[in-house]
Amino acid sequence: MMNMKLYNTLTRTIEEFKPIQEKHVGMYTCGPTVYAYPQIGNWRAFVSEDLLRRTFEYLGYTVTHVMNITDVGHLTGDNLGDADLGEDRMEKAAKKEGKTAWDIAKFYTNDFIHSRELLHIEAPQVLPKATDHIAEQISLVQALFERGLAYKTDKAVYFDVAKFPAYGKLGGQKLIDKRVATRDELVEDDQKHHPFDFALWKLSPTDGPRRQMEWESPWGVGFPGWHIECSAMSMKYLGETFDIHAGGVDHIAIHHANEIAQSEGATGKPFANYWVHIAFLTVDGGRMGKSLGNAYTVQDVITKGFDPLVLRYFYLTGHYRKQLNFTWDALQAAAAALTNLREITWRSQQEKERTVLSEEKLALIDGFRKQFIEALSEDLNIPQALAVVWEVAKSNIPGIDKADLIKEFDAVLGLGLADWHPESFEIPNAVNQLVVERTSVRDEKDWAQADILRKQIQALGFDVQDSATGPIVKKL
């Protein structure tokens, strides 16, 4: 059995993965901030992390995957290099949409769970919300006070980076220099000791309207800083030291550097042993952003007529440490490839009888399996693993065995190849859930809401008709 090798941002080398507990991986991945629909860049990170999890499972590990839901405290300032500045994304979205921050969180959390299913991302075993873990975050801040690593100003409680010499070890001096260069004009609180000190607890402003999300604390009414939730929740569910922490490359310099400082500062123990960072997705060769009109969502992909799994296939074509460029043409190419692979797999499994395999064919199958595992083990080389799948598809392995092997590999790729067949269709979970929801609002005679849900079902490429025995779902 090959050992898994992974690039560790902490050491800036590819290392052999050594778990804390034999054949077990504790993995924490930074989840969505639930103030809007995630864009396809976020989904690239989530799908890449899912591929990592599935790879470990394929290699015989059990994985405990924890992914947080950020539903408070993530301010807009991190776009400028300081997560302590700006407005709370949740409260800003609430104002814009005319809902409460709690409703916004609920709506986008549910949407995230639906879209996650559409993209075949396995459900994390724990999906903790920041707002459900306020007490844990407060205790962690208290531990930092006890160790002399925190101080209070009139506006907030901060982590004192000067007292933590290892600050910024993730990402190295280059990233620190870059932050210094952009930092000076951003300081908002002149009682801060050092510009890199970051908020552990923010006190609610005493002027202006009251915040919707705020809690009592030993330091006054307020809300947690963004970074502290990840430290508190990862250590609660995975222990003070765990195996893997992952997220997008944008988190290296600030969010993850701060998570390390808080966690190691409080416990005196190493936090995560391996740091895995996913490179960015670009669109049409450039940055993606809401203001550029190219921050596409999963719903945009569906509206353009693509199966969400086509997007997943597209992600498989790039190595996670290289930037990947999204274009609609590239998605079209992914659609053609996925259809082809689905048809080959389906046709292969139609053969009625299993041929007795020759020594040569058995060796061929073993060889493919070895190459597939080798690709995965070399720092999760998914494009290479996908190339092996194509070699299998084009090989002369007899039908049923070919389909079996492709389906075995699909446990990692997650393209649902085992379930696909040409004439019939699967009703996706998202459609099913909408149909169930629609039935219940119809029972309550809420026809307007039933119509809205029907339109959502149609947007997913399906229609629903009501019959005496219940709803009938059709493909459009």
Q: Which of 123, 119, 56 is nearest to 315 (CA)?
A: 119
| Closest CB to Zn ion among residues 30, 450 | 30
**What is the distance, to the nearest Å, from the Cα of residue 53 to the centroid of all Cα atoms in its chain?**
11
* From the list ligand AMP, Zn ion, none, partner contacted by residue 124 (C-beta under 5 to 8 A by kind): none
* From the list ligand AMP, Zn ion, none, partner contacted by residue 202 (C-beta under 5 to 8 A by kind): none
* From the list Zn ion, ligand AMP, none, partner contacted by residue 250 (C-beta under 5 to 8 A by kind): ligand AMP
Q: Binding to Zn ion by residue 382, rule CB under 5 A? A: no
Distance in angstroms (rounded) separating the CA atoms of residues 223 and 202? 5
Number of Cβ atoms within 10 Å of the Cβ of 31: 28
Distance in angstroms (rounded) separating the CA atoms of residues 27 and 250? 19
Distance in angstroms (rounded) separating the CA atoms of residues 251 and 68? 14
Q: In the bound complex, what is the minimum distance in angstroms from residue 256's beta carbon to Zn ion?
A: 7
Write out the two tokens for 344: 């080959």
- What's the distance, Cα to Cα, between the start and end of the chain in Å? 47
Number of Cβ atoms within 10 Å of the Cβ of 361: 17
| Closest CB to ligand AMP among residues 157, 281 | 281
Q: In the bound complex, what is the minimum distance in angstroms from residue 400's beta carbon to ligand AMP?
A: 39
| Closest CB to ligand AMP among residues 43, 420 | 43
Pairing of the two strands 24-29 and 62-67: parallel
Q: Binding to Zn ion by residue 72, rule CB under 5 A? A: no
* From the list Zn ion, ligand AMP, none, partner contacted by residue 73 (C-beta under 5 to 8 A by kind): none
Q: For the residues of 308-355, what is the DSSP string, one character each?
A: HHHHHHHHHTS-TTS-EEE-HHHHHHHHHHHHHHHHHHHHHTT-SSPP
> In this chain, which residue has its C-beta nearest to ligand AMP?
248
Write out the two tokens for 423: 């004439």
Q: Which residues pair with residue 150 across a beta bridge?
A: 159
| Closest CB to ligand AMP among residues 75, 406 | 75
Write out the two tokens for 262: 């808080």
Q: In the bound complex, what is the minimum distance in angstroms from residue 41's beta carbon to ligand AMP?
A: 2
- Contact characters 219-248, Zn ion, x per CB under 5 A: -----------x------------------
Q: For the residues of 206-246, what is the DSSP string, one character each?
A: SSSSPPSS-B--TT-SEEE-HHHHHHHHHHHHH-SSEEEEE
* From the list Zn ion, ligand AMP, none, partner contacted by residue 230 (C-beta under 5 to 8 A by kind): Zn ion
Dmax (CA) for the chain in angstroms is: 80
* From the list Zn ion, ligand AMP, none, partner contacted by residue 222 (C-beta under 5 to 8 A by kind): none
Q: In the bound complex, what is the minimum distance in angstroms from residue 324's beta carbon to ligand AMP?
A: 8
* From the list ligand AMP, Zn ion, none, partner contacted by residue 428 (C-beta under 5 to 8 A by kind): none
Interface residues toward ligand AMP, by CB under 6 A: 30, 32-33, 41-42, 44-45, 247-248, 250-251, 278, 280-281, 288
Q: In the bound complex, what is the minimum distance in angstroms from residue 435's beta carbon to ligand AMP?
A: 29
- The secondary element (H helix, E strand) that includes residue 158 is strand 156-159
Q: In the bound complex, what is the minimum distance in angstroms from residue 248's beta carbon to ligand AMP?
A: 2
Distance in angstroms (rounded) separating the CA atoms of residues 223 and 225? 7
* From the list Zn ion, ligand AMP, none, partner contacted by residue 402 (C-beta under 5 to 8 A by kind): none
* From the list ligand AMP, Zn ion, none, partner contacted by residue 278 (C-beta under 5 to 8 A by kind): ligand AMP
Q: Which residues of 418-448 are buried (b: 16+ CB within 10 A; e: fewer)?
A: bebeeeeeeebebbebbbeebeebbeeeeee
| Closest CB to ligand AMP among residues 77, 416 | 77
- Contact characters 28-47, Zn ion, x per CB under 5 A: --x-----------------
Q: Which of 345, 58, 101 is nearest to 211 (CA)?
A: 101
Q: In the bound complex, what is the minimum distance in angstroms from residue 398's beta carbon to Zn ion?
A: 48
* From the list Zn ion, ligand AMP, none, partner contacted by residue 281 (C-beta under 5 to 8 A by kind): ligand AMP
| Closest CB to ligand AMP among residues 40, 344 | 40
Q: In the bound complex, what is the minimum distance in angstroms from residue 45's beta carbon to ligand AMP?
A: 4
Per CB under 5 A, the segment of 22-30, 167-175, 401-409, 439-447 that binds Zn ion is 22-30
Report the interface residues with Zn ion, using CB under 5 A: 30, 230
